[in-house]
Structure 1
Amino acid sequence: MPSVLRLFRYVAIAEACSWAGLLVGMYFKYIAETSELGVKVFGPIHGGLFVLYVAGVLAAARAARWSVPTVVLGLACAVPPFTSLWFERRMLGRRREPATV
């Protein structure tokens, strides 16, 4: 069974991908003014993944014993597009141990 931190990684990646889909959908809806389909499809998907990302930050924080400021940063990274990827790599990169020779 995948660990909490691995699940957090998957959710962070999926949340960023849903951002990309939603941004493309918003382009076609508001800039090109051709279709609302992208927003109708990716809006709810992104909303669900946003909630999962928030839950993932809280679960990963508990498992990895992150500080309160780190948790706040992780939650804030749910808002701007693609920052969930930056936060995920930053936090999980800290857990990797150096390779032994």
Structure 2
Amino acid sequence: MTTQTPTGIGKLFAVACLIEGLTWTGLLIGMFLKYVTDTTDLGVWLFGRLHGVAFMFYVVVAVLSALRLRWPWWASAIAVLAAVPPLVTIPVEIWFQRRGFLTEKPAAQS
């Protein structure tokens, strides 16, 4: 287990996790305001669109990260599936950073 600072695609993955999590939060707050308090549907209108774009961005970045950083199949699956339940991408990013999945491995010398 290492906690090196991510660079390149690892840093992009961390940013994508944060954006996906923040837009999920906005969408959940918007849904609360629309369906529970019956105040406004502006939050759902705005964050629904933002989250849709963030979700697609996150999935593309997760797949590219898995390929570039050579994640095992199970880590790749966890990264992609983390986008489905609310707010799971943020703890997954923290866990991946602690496991050293967000830093590039040195090239093997022959």
Q: Do they fold alike, i.e. is TM over 0.5?
A: yes
CA distance in 2, matches of 1:38, 1:90: 30
Deviation at 1:75, TM superposition (A): 1.0
Q: Name which structure has the greater RCO, CA cutoff 8 Å, separation 6+.
A: 2
- What percent identity do the matched residue pairs reach? 32
Aligned residue in 1 for 2:29: 24
Structure 1 segments of 4+ aligned residues over 4 angstroms from their partners:
none
Q: Which runs of 5+ in 2 are unaligned?
A: 1-6, 104-110
Aligned residue in 2 for 1:76: 81
Q: Which runs of 5+ in 1 are unaligned?
A: none
CA distance in 1, matches of 2:52, 2:84: 11
The answer to whether 1:59 aligns with 2:64 is: yes
Q: Give the number of aligned pairs.
A: 96
- In proportion to residue count, which structure has more helix? 1
The residue matched to 2:28 in structure 1 has which SS?
helix
CA distance in 2, matches of 1:80, 1:39: 17
TM-score, normalisation: structure 2: 0.81
Give the superposed CA RMSD: 1.6
